[in-house]
A = this chain, B = another copy of it.
């Protein structure tokens, strides 16, 4: 089974650096930087509003926890928002491609 991770970054360079590290460690097969997102949030009782770069990471369900752990360790924020979910249905080619990760490819 495959999985997706969504995580915003302070800027495009940080998102690219994370993508390349995860690719180097064969924890993902692909990252899609979605572009600028406007974040509206509550933090320590205060309302905040900032612009970030949203990113989606494609991996296998077996590597999901490890990929999130690695992302959390290198993310520039102390409290990054890193959220992953399983994709119960993918195309055959996608399954084969992401399955390569589980074979260390």
A81 to B91 CA separation, bound complex (whole angstroms): 7
Q: Is the CB of B91 within 8 A of A71?
A: yes
Q: Which of B12, B54, B97 contacts A79 (CB 8 A)?
A: B97
Query: Nearest B residue to A49 by beta-carbon distance?
Result: B16
Q: Which of B12, B78, B88 contacts A93 (CB 8 A)?
A: B78
Quote the shortest CB–CB distance from A77 to chain B (angstroms). 8
Q: Is A80 an interface residue (CB 8 A)?
A: yes
A40 cross-chain contacts in B, Cβ below 8 A? 16, 19-20, 23, 30-31, 33
A83 cross-chain contacts in B, Cβ below 8 A? 2, 4, 58, 87, 89-90, 94
Q: Is the CB of A85 within 8 A of B37?
A: no
